[in-house]
Amino acid sequence: MNKEIFRKIPKGIKLIIVLILLTVFGFGILFFADRPVRLPAEFLTARQKGAEISQKIVELTADTNQRIKEINALDINGDVLKAMAMIEEAKGKNREALDQALKLTGEMQDMAESLNKITLSKSREIAIKAIALEISLTTTFIVEYNPILDQFLSNLYKAIATSKIEYRKAAENNLSDLNAKTWAINSLNRQFLEQMREFDKSFSL
């Protein structure tokens, strides 16, 4: 992660990264030997909420993608007013997804803070990987996906309103980048869920 991207990351996410590093180098040594199985309730609560929020973000990005297709169809058919109104709706959905991403940072912080209460070293290792994946998802959404989507919707709105080719070309470039970030978010969510399944297996839940 280069310095420019790190500076853009909200303080809450930076805190989680620091907590994870402390966990890896501190709790990893302190709890090297396995101890009796104990599953902290606060970790499970944060894990459940985190999974729900993460899935909500994925659903909201999918909803936005569907709206983009509908806007494109309206644009092709010359229904300018409906297309522009739907762009405004897409902006609202994106703000909702951003709120969810910010909530997710809080749940990841709670998970990180309870890692020292997970007594099985293998389970802690899996949990750390899972939290790292959710941090990547949140960072990708907030730092990369969100601003690209804002740019895309702005350029698309201007393209429809003015019929200027430069705005349409800019929107097309934005859309290509947006699709790549959407794929990354979905992939990170799938990997997180897989790590959580492995976590459950490690406790034989």
Closest C-alpha among 140, 141, 175, 182 to residue 155? 175
Instruction: State the pLDDT at residue 145.
Output: 94
* Residue of 168 and 18 predicted with greater confidence: 168
User: How far is residue 154's CA from residue 167's CA, in Å, rounded to a whole number?
Assistant: 9
Structural contact between residues 23 and 127, judged by C-beta atoms closer than 8 angstroms = no
Residue type, 2: N
Q: Largest alpha-carbon pair distance within the chain? A: 67
Fold that domain 42-202 belongs to in CATH = Four Helix Bundle (Hemerythrin (Met), subunit A) (1.20.120)
User: How far is residue 149's CA from residue 179's CA, in Å, rounded to a whole number?
Assistant: 10
pLDDT in tens, 141-169: 999 999 999 999 999 999 999 989 999 99
pLDDT in tens, 127-146: 889 999 998 999 999 999 99
What Cα–Cα distance (Å) separates residue 160 from each residue in 7, 53, 76, 157, 168?
Answer: 34, 33, 10, 5, 8
State the pTM of this model: 0.78
Both tokens of residue 92?
Answer: 């609202």
Closest C-alpha among 174, 171, 175, 150 to residue 162? 171
- List CB contacts of 34: < 8 A, sequence separation 6 or more: 119, 120, 121, 122
Boundaries of every domain in the chain: 42-202
